[in-house]
Amino acid sequence: MGLFSKLKDYNLELDDVLDKKTFSSNIKNLLLSMTYKIETAYTDFKEVKRCVRNKEDLLNEIVETVRLYCENIKVAEPDSDQAKMLIKHKVEALTNASERSILTYPTEMSLFYAISDISPKYFYINPNIVLGNVMQNTLVNGYNLNNVEILRDFNGWSWDFSYGTNFNYIDNLIYQNLLVMFGEKFLYEWRTYGSTRRDFIDEAKKYIKIFTSNEKYFKALYKVLYTKISAKEREKIDAILAEQMKEYKAMSDKDKYFISCREKKEKLVKKLEKIDIALSDTSVLEKEFKRYNAKVAEEKRIKSIITYKKRIITERERLFAQINEITYILISSNYQKKKNVLKENLEPYKTKDDVLTTLIELQKEFLLFVEKRLSKMKTRDEIIDLLYELRYYRQLRIDKNYIVCEIEGLEKLIDRIMKSAITALCKMGAMKIISMDINLNFEIIKYALTTKIIELENIRISIDIEDDSIIIRVFDKDVIEKQGRKQLEISKETFEIKSKRKIKLFN
């Protein structure tokens, strides 16, 4: 048995797996140290974030990934050629799934990123979505960043956001949005059941619509995906969207569009019939083969009839797919579905907004969803979970220069939601009423909740009331966390707690 093997069964399992691997002792110790640190930090991680995986599921997945998908793990030492390669690619680690190999910096966090990256995952996205590949990459990267957060921001006794110079705040923010909106179970199923072709985006849209009665969140998301890609990628996307724009305009006249589709279908059917005759009759196939070579330049001629036959079989499959697609579109309900897909694809087309503008727009739609969901919450625990989520969310990076709560328009929305949540908890008797003035009550409690104290239920507060101001002190149980002063513009009689008396914030 190796280092830390006495912790729990999954550590014993990892130890057993490592006994069968040819990793160096340094790599084995790094892996065991990684699982130990995850174990140590998990309780605080879960308390702060709420939307997390079960610890045993997380650790068992690590063990299985190492067992099945990691055969060669190498560490990039400082100033080595391998380290320069990681710097060049601006990544914590590089993985090769086909070779089951990992190159990583010699840290637990970098190794965990690599294990997360090499584990099989596939977020199925309907191929009709033009930005589908961009979304797929965003979700995969967001998943990896979400995994390593437990080591990046938690150390077993404190919580602090840590952003490196190469941190992909866009992918992380999008993934954190989806976690809060749909939950860990939904994203797990999306990541692992992708091969079933279950349309998770369609399910997500329907779920959002229950609360907001619209699909604005995904429209805003497509704009973010469009603005975040490189100029070269956008050029390719624009070429596809330009063709879709032509088709969308053509679809404005349904009768004329249907006539055009039927005419196109007839031409395709004739081509298909011609290929079928050639494939069923060797003499016809030979004539067509000679006719083709006679029409093209010498360097483009096909050398053998077998190669030509393979080529027209491929062409037949393409024609057949086109015919099926037209047949599908000629059904009125399917026509409307395709028109809606094209409209959605074209939503971000050639937008002039920058990434930050589109991200702010997306976050407004996210917060409006959260607000609507809050209005349907009935229990103390649901609302307290939401306060935890909002506290966490406020500190997420939205830009290399800003975090969410530093964007004025977003902070106002967050305040509105928090005020509703706090007021609801006070009415339930789940939270202490500090002042009968709702606005002052919110400002004091918001100040207390804006903290890195792991458990909000441990918060104690006291206030000192002076002539024209109040001093608010916030404690983590008996240890003072912070204090601040606020101008007092209302009567002291509105306060429901005694001056200089320390009280629990939550009942």
Could you read off the pLDDT of 228-246 as tens digits, one per residue? 999 999 999 999 999 999 9
The predicted model gives 2-15 an average pLDDT of 62
pLDDT number for residue 441 = 92
Q: Which residues, in sequence order, are CB contacts of 128 under 8 Å at separation 6+?
A: 338, 341, 345
* Same domain membership, residue 384 and residue 336: no
pLDDT number for residue 194 = 65
pLDDT greater than 90 at residue 1: no
Could you read off the pLDDT of 177-221 as tens digits, one per residue? 999 999 999 999 999 986 667 899 999 999 999 999 998 999 999
pLDDT greater than 60 at residue 3: no
In a domain, 215, yes or no: no
In a domain, 85, yes or no: yes
pLDDT greater than 70 at residue 5: no
In a domain, 73, yes or no: yes
The strand pair at 101-104 and 72-75 is best described as parallel
How far apart CA 348 and CA 228 sit, in angstroms, is 11
In a domain, 495, yes or no: yes
What single-letter DSSP state applies at residue 161? -
How far apart CA 275 and CA 311 sit, in angstroms, is 11
* Same domain membership, residue 26 and residue 143: yes
Domain that holds residue 131: 9-150
Q: Based on the structure, what is the number of domains in the chain?
A: 3
* Same domain membership, residue 53 and residue 130: yes
Could you read off the pLDDT of 385-419 as tens digits, one per residue? 999 999 999 999 999 999 999 999 999 999 999 99
Q: Are 126 and 202 in contact (CB under 8 A)?
A: yes
Q: Which residues, in sequence order, are CB contacts of 286 under 8 Å at separation 6+?
A: 305
Assign 2 a pLDDT band (cuts: 50, 70, 90). very low
* Same domain membership, residue 415 and residue 306: no
Choosing from 150, 176, 196, the residue where a domain stops is 150
pLDDT number for residue 157 = 83
Assign 145 a pLDDT band (cuts: 50, 70, 90). very high
pLDDT number for residue 468 = 80
Choosing from 109, 132, 150, the residue where a domain stops is 150
Choosing from 150, 166, 199, the residue where a domain stops is 150
- Which one is predicted more confidently, 124 or 467? 124
> Where is average pLDDT lowest: 1-5, 43-47, 376-380?
1-5
pLDDT number for residue 90 = 86
pLDDT number for residue 195 = 63
* Same domain membership, residue 335 and residue 421: no
CA Rg value for the chain: 29
In a domain, 144, yes or no: yes
* Same domain membership, residue 111 and residue 45: yes
In a domain, 205, yes or no: no
In a domain, 220, yes or no: no
The predicted model gives 87-108 an average pLDDT of 93
The predicted model gives 48-73 an average pLDDT of 94
pLDDT number for residue 8 = 55
* Same domain membership, residue 389 and residue 272: no
* Same domain membership, residue 452 and residue 326: no
Mean pLDDT value across the chain: 92
Could you read off the pLDDT of 452-504 as tens digits, one per residue? 999 999 999 999 988 788 899 999 999 999 999 888 776 667 788 888 889 99
* Same domain membership, residue 433 and residue 477: yes
* Same domain membership, residue 22 and residue 139: yes
Q: How much of the chain is helix, strand and coil, in % rounded to 5?
A: 65, 10, 25
In a domain, 92, yes or no: yes
The predicted model gives 322-334 an average pLDDT of 95
